[in-house]
Structure 1
């Protein structure tokens, strides 16, 4: 039997090592390629959907939002955010619903709303003369010019919502006025300046719209 020489054995061993290395290298490249392909598929199927969701929608697809101010006989008067095309009933629901004193015969719940619109829900038996610069939701306006002194609210008996319709009077000041008159009566319109936060400038803005009679 012929045996390989030592030199031949070394050559054969080197060849075997080379073949094994080539096989291993090819397997490694296949695994890397497979992993890349798998990751690409995962991104295509899953991640790209999340990326698309994060992209801003086309202006035509974006839902238009309007802001409406509602006051009067609702439980949560103030600003409400609605979808474009909403109606008075939607604003009422966003404001907590109608109070039992609301005069349904003087409002149109089906009226469509526009951005920056003001809605006033009157009280049953409420005199139109005390509604100053507010929009009756049946589409008619009860607003008056700022120089008209015939339509005034009695600061001793009016509601907080009516006070909030005065120029520059928000919910905080309206609450202070109500709290003040609970312990004492306004004997003159100038007495309203005794309420914290109402100075000469603010009084000048509201004096033509208030009375104590």
Structure 2
């Protein structure tokens, strides 16, 4: 296994990539990196990965876990109504606390 990335280095993010990827684990990326970058750093998707379930263009955040599902696997929704890997909030189901977390709200 590769050594753990240096989480203290400035200007980057550390993401834990799990699921249907070639090399699951912790990856260090440049600030502003996208889900596609994290996926590539983890060895890419396996043949059974459901990449259509992810928003590959979404910017990743430091400290997040990115789960790559296999085809047919259901990703659980977060309690605030957001999908776990796309960063979106369902405005119809989100509570006031979740809405306060949206940029420009609250």
Coarse TM-score class (shorter-chain normalised) = 0.5 to 0.7
- Higher share in helix: 1
In the alignment, the residues of structure 2 paired with residue 118 and residue 139 of structure 1 have an alpha-carbon distance, to the nearest angstrom, of: 12
| Contact 1:67–1:79 (CA under 8 A) maintained in structure 2 | yes
Gaps of 5+ in 2: 1-8, 90-106
Alignment of 1:1-213 (within 5 A): 64-128=11-75, 136-140=84-88
**Offset of 1:123 from its aligned partner?**
0.8
TM-score normalised per structure 1: 0.33
1:115 Cα shift?
A: 0.8
- Match of residue 95 from structure 2: none
Q: Which has the larger radius of gyration?
A: 1
Q: What TM-score do you get using the length of structure 2 for normalisation?
A: 0.63
> How many residues are aligned here?
77
Q: Structure 1's 101 and 140: CA in aligned 2 closer, same or farther, altered over 3 A?
A: farther
Give the root-mean-square deviation of aligned CA atoms: 2.5
Following TM superposition, by how much is the alpha carbon of 1:139 offset from its aligned partner in structure 2, in angstroms? 1.9
Return the offset for 1:63: 5.5
Q: Greater strand percent: which structure?
A: 2
Higher relative contact order (CA 8 A, sep 6+): 2
